[in-house]
Amino acid sequence: MATYAYTALTASGDRVSGLLSAATEQAVLAELESRRLTPVTISPAKERTARGRRVSARKLGESYVQIGDLLHAGVPLLRSLKLIAARRSQPKVADVYRHLAETVSDGGELAEAMSRRPEIFPRIHIAMIRAGEKGGFLEGVFSRLGAFVLAQAELRGRIVGSLIYPALLVLFGVLILGVVFGVFVPMFKPVFERMSQLPLSTRLVLGASDLIAGFGVSLVGVAIAIGILAWRLSKRADVRRRGTEFLTFAPVCGQLVRALAAARFCRLLGTMLENGVPMLQAMAISKEAAGNVLMEEAIDRAIEAVRAGEQLAPPLASSGLFADDIVEMISVGESANNLEKVLLSVAETIEKRIDRLLGIVVRLIEPLMLMAIAGVVVVVAMGLLLPMTQLGGEG
C-alpha cells in the first residue's frame, strides 16, 4: 500500500485535503466516494514530506506511554491514535499519528503502518508492536516500549550532558592558545629580531606563532578535511572494525564503551522478551541496537548457541565484553526462568556503572586539559622571558 495526497470538495463546496493509504488510486477514489467527497486532485505523497518530519526519541517514548495509558483506561486503539494526532502542542508527533490512524481506520495493522515510516519508527519498535498485536497484549507493549525509549533517551541525555563541560573546556583552550600565538606572541617578535641567538623554547614559540598567524585559516581547513576523510573512512567495514576494537579495549574509555553496548543489548532484549517476542527473534533485533561490531559478532555466536539448545551466558562470557558479575546474573536468570526481568535489572545496574564511569572520565579530562593548557602557557612564558633576561644581562 502507498500513501496518496488528495484534495476534494465536500457536499457544501468546501475544499479539504489530506492523506490516504491505499493500494491504488482507484481505491482512493472509492474511499473518497464513500465519504461523499468529490476528488479534485490525487497524487502519491512526496517522500520528503515523510522523511522531513523526524520526532525526538523522548517525544516518541512519551507518545507510547500515553497510548498505553489510554488503552489501559479502555480507550480503543483507533481512538487513542486519533487523540494523539489531535494534539496541537506537538505537531510533528500529531502528523505521524495522523498517518497511523488513517491506516488503522482503513483496516490495516498498526505495525504495518509504522513500517512505512522507518525514519520515525525503528525496526525494534515495529517488531514489538507486531508481537503485541498478534498476541493481544498491545497495552503492555506500549507501556514497556515507552519506558524503554524514555530510559534510553535519559541515558543518552546524561552522557551528552556529562561531555558538554569537557568539550567547552577544549574549545576555550584552543581559542585561548590561538589568541596567545596569533596575537600576543607576534607583539614580541620585533624585539627578538635584534638578537643574534635565541633559546630553543623561544624559537619554538615564534615558529608556532608564525604558523598560526600565517596559516591559521589553512590549518582549520585541513582539520575539517581530515575530519570529513575520517568520517568517510569510518563507513568502511574494515576501518570501523579497527576503530571499534581500539575504543572497546582502550585503557580509559574501553570500559565505558563496553558498558554502553551491554546496557543497550540487555535492556532491549529484556524488554522484547517481556513483551512476548520469541528469544531468537528478540536477540536478532537486539543485536542491531548494540551499536558495536564486536558486540554484534558476540550476539551472533550467542544466537547460534541458543538455537542449538545451549544457554545464553557462556558465549557472552567468552566475548570478553560483559563483566563477570553480569554474566553470572544472566546465567542465574536463565536457570530461574525469569531472564527478561534479570536482563532489565542488569541494564539498570550497568547504567549506574556508566554514570560512575562518566563522572570519573569527566574528572580526569578536566585536570588533564588544564595541565595541558598550563604547560603550553609555561612554554610560551619561558620562550618570551628567557630572551628578556639575556637582554637585561647584556645591558
Helices marked H in the chain — which ranges?
A: 25-34, 47-51, 57-72, 77-85, 91-105, 110-115, 123-135, 138-179, 189-192, 200-233, 237-248, 254-274, 279-289, 293-307, 313-319, 324-336, 339-394
The three cell numbers locating residue 176: 585561548
Q: Which residues are CB-contacts of 173 (< 8 A; sequence separation ≥ 6)?
A: 369, 372, 373
142 class by beta-carbon count within 10 Å (0-12 exposed, 13-18 middle, 19+ buried): buried
- Cα–Cα–Cα angle for 129, 133, 136, rounded to 5 degrees: 125
Of 95, 98, 94, 117, the C-alpha closest to 106 is 98
The dihedral built from the CA positions of residue 321, 324, 325 and 331, taken in this order, carries a sign that is positive
- Structural domain boundaries in the chain: 2-45, 57-152, 162-395
Q: What is the pLDDT of residue 1?
A: 54
One-letter identity of residue 73 = A
Q: Are 178 and 216 in contact (CB under 8 A)?
A: yes
**The residue to which cell 507486531 is assigned:** 130
Q: What is the pLDDT of residue 199?
A: 80
**The residue to which cell 571499534 is assigned:** 244
Superfamily (CATH H level) for 162-395: Type II secretion system (T2SS), domain F (1.20.81.30)
5 class by beta-carbon count within 10 Å (0-12 exposed, 13-18 middle, 19+ buried): middle
- CA distances (Å), origin 342, targets 129, 271, 302, 349: 22, 11, 17, 10
- Cα–Cα–Cα angle for 30, 35, 40, rounded to 5 degrees: 70
**What span, in angstroms and rounded, lies between the C-alpha atoms of 65 and 121?**
15
Q: Tell me which DSSP letter residue 387 carries.
A: H
Domains 57-152 and 162-395 share a fold: yes
Q: What is the pLDDT of residue 353?
A: 82
Cα distance from N-terminal residue to C-terminal residue, the chain: 91
The three cell numbers locating residue 237: 567495514
Per-residue pLDDT tens, the chain, 395 aa: give them.
Answer: 567 777 888 877 778 777 776 777 788 888 888 888 888 888 876 544 434 457 888 899 899 999 999 998 999 999 999 999 888 778 888 888 988 888 888 788 888 888 888 888 887 788 778 877 877 778 888 888 888 888 878 877 877 877 787 788 888 888 887 887 878 788 877 877 777 677 888 888 888 888 877 777 787 888 899 989 888 887 777 777 888 888 888 876 788 888 888 888 888 888 878 877 788 888 887 776 666 788 888 888 999 999 998 888 898 888 888 888 888 999 999 888 888 889 888 888 888 888 787 777 777 777 887 888 788 888 888 887 777 776 655 55
Q: What is the pLDDT of residue 66?
A: 92
Q: Are 64 and 45 in contact (CB under 8 A)?
A: no
Farthest-apart Cα atoms in the chain, separation:
103
**What span, in angstroms and rounded, lies between the C-alpha atoms of 201 and 105?**
76
Q: Are 251 and 360 in contact (CB under 8 A)?
A: no
CATH class of the domain at 57-152? mainly alpha
Q: Which residues are CB-contacts of 143 (< 8 A; sequence separation ≥ 6)?
A: 64, 65, 68, 69, 72
Q: What is the pLDDT of residue 45?
A: 66
